[in-house]
Amino acid sequence: MKNRLFIVEGVPCTGKTSTSEFIANILSESERNVLHFPEGAANHPSDYDFHAYVTSEDLLLFSNGERKMLISNSEKIDNGYVIPLANIRGDLFNKIIQYKIYDMLPWHKEYPIMLHKWETYCEIAKANKNIYVFDCCFLQNPLCETMMRFNMDTKEIFNYIASIYKRIEELNPVVIYLKNTNIKQRIDEVSKEREKEWLEGVVEYHTSQGFGKSCGHVGYDGYIECLKARQDIELSILDKLNIDKLIIEDPFKNWDETYNKIKSKVTGT
């Protein structure tokens, strides 16, 4: 198969997780080596969802014992260390969480680490025969940082995504984008099925910093406005990139029809 990477994207509550599972299952019927990495996977080959990064200088702020613990759980990258936060406990976790890559790290430290991760993943993928299925890591997670956290302009955001694409282009990636034409209605429906803390967390994240704060968006309605703006930018990025893609409008209205379209795209039948 010429396409070695399939990525499912879209704003929250569009069905990305179940769609990526569907794609992995479909591919597994005809391909032997299919690897599915959902959002937040601890061992994700191209993402650092719950990891910290400290430089050698940062480590001097920790005790000898803490440094040994951190280094023993880390991946060395240039002059620093990437540390899976799931492996750290107690007081040391409270210290190292301040260096979390997403949410805490300054952009000048974050973006080279993330581009290095994508580049390393591509080199590994080219050396094996695996087909990969991801969700969220190509558009959603980068835009949550560049747009929602740092309030970068659209040109900066596009250039960053284009830099990621440049590093994976040889894998002939395909983006399956689940577009939502009525974001508020869908979030209203799905949020009732989720924990209250989920909605409170995403509203706070989107309205207390970066893009949302700069626009004066507040509360639940402000969160919805942030998602609308994010979807617009994501679709504009896909339009500009020379990347293979399938955009499905309101996929949740008819999942049978949606999955038939996806199956045809993924398998070429």
pLDDT per position as a tens digit, 245-264: 999 999 999 999 999 999 99
pLDDT per position as a tens digit, 181-229: 999 999 999 988 888 899 999 999 999 999 999 999 999 999 999 999 9
- The domains located in the chain, with CATH, are 5-47+104-267 (3.40.50.300), 51-99 (no CATH)
**φ/ψ (deg, to 5) at 98:** -70, -10
Residue 32 has a pLDDT of 79
Give the residue-averaged pLDDT of 29-45. Answer: 91
pTM greater than 0.85 (yes/no): yes
pLDDT per position as a tens digit, 86-129: 989 999 999 999 999 999 999 999 999 999 999 999 999 999 98
Q: Using pLDDT thresholds of 50, 70 and 90, give the confidence band for residue 1.
A: low
